[in-house]
Amino acid sequence: MEEARHSPILLREVLEYLDCQPDRIYVDGTVGSGGHARAILTRSSPTGKLIGLDWDEEAIQRAQKNLAPFGKRAELIKRNYKDLSSVLENLAIGAVDGILLDLGVSTEQLEDGTRGFSFLRDGPLDMRMSRELRITARDLLQRLSAVEISRIFRLYGEERWANRIAKAVVRRRQITPMRTTGELVDVIKKSFPSRSGRIHPATRAFQALRIAVNEELQNLQNFLDRCKDLLNPGGRLVIISFHSLEDRAVKNHFRQWAKGEEGTPPFFYLLTPKPVVPSSEEVLNNPKARSAKLRAVEKIFEKTKGRKDGGSDL
């Protein structure tokens, strides 16, 4: 296996909350290069199975290479995780024992200048994680009004200067359409009142555009609305998010499931009343981990409505 520079985010915690065991089936909905997946397969040896999804062809190829030693125990599929129910249906699997989502962009995607995710590398204004998506960052910046662009920067990037940047984008595209990340960085830098700031001036706008291009919140919302039936009783769902809007969606769904719905008893147990965050040591080794939040739930056994391990806390 190609050695990753960092170990996968919150790895120990993921394994603990997924409670990996042999003879069970796990789904990694955002398999990336297969870092978490490899650990899940190792932990669930010798018979645990893992279905890994990613909608990026290149990620699937990396995962295939990295997980090859596990043979048929690992099945990798290029697909949006929001379509998990139809993926399982095609595999004739009714429900699984654990699902992991590690949301957002991977280091490999970020560092590949040709994908357009990074403000530090000049490349095409693309930002699609899946090449099957039709709208690129360039399309959004070319077609949307200043008000719509500003809304994206504000909502998904909490960018204070959203209006100024959006207006500058529209002025710039009246001259010629923007094609590269470098051109966008220039526009952003020029619309900032001063260069003094803790982070690169393009950080928030780039994050916001990426979230919009990939419809990241809609995918998560869709998945959360439909995933409950895909877990066996005792099965666990673990989600790592990096954005406050994502974390809020996960928190609200999990709380609702743990409370029960309209007269029915709760059917999920909240394993993480508060989000689990990386240790300061992990953040020091991997700065990308600094905004990670992990939340986990366990589906309650239908018959007993109790936890399979008797309710002890992790």
Ligand X SMILES: C[S@@+](CC[C@H](N)C(=O)[O-])C[C@H]1O[C@@H](n2cnc3c(N)ncnc32)[C@H](O)[C@@H]1O
Chain center to CA of 12: 18
Q: How far is CA 95 from CA 16, 26, 105, in A?
A: 21, 10, 27
**Cβ-based neighbour number of residue 252 at 10 Å:** 11
Spatial distance between the Cα atoms of 177 and 191, rounded to a whole number of angstroms: 18
Peptide bond into 266 cis (omega under 30): no
Side-by-side strand order, sheet with 231-241: 74-78, 49-54, 25-28, 96-102, 231-241, 293-299, 268-270
Element (H, E) at 96: strand 96-102
Spatial distance between the Cα atoms of 196 and 212, rounded to a whole number of angstroms: 27
Q: Which is nearer to ligand X, 54 or 97 (CB)?
A: 54
- As a dihedral over the C-alpha atoms of residue 4, residue 314, residue 224, residue 125, rounded to 10 degrees, the angle is -20
Which stretches of the chain bind ligand X, using CB under 6 A? 8, 30, 32-36, 53-56, 59, 80-82, 102, 104, 106, 129, 219
Q: Which is nearer to ligand X, 82 or 172 (CB)?
A: 82
CB of 251: closest distance to ligand X in angstroms?
A: 19
Q: Which is nearer to ligand X, 108 or 158 (CB)?
A: 108
- The count of C-alpha atoms lying within 13 angstroms of the C-alpha of 105, restricted to the half-sphere facing its C-beta, is 25
CB of 68: closest distance to ligand X in angstroms?
A: 15
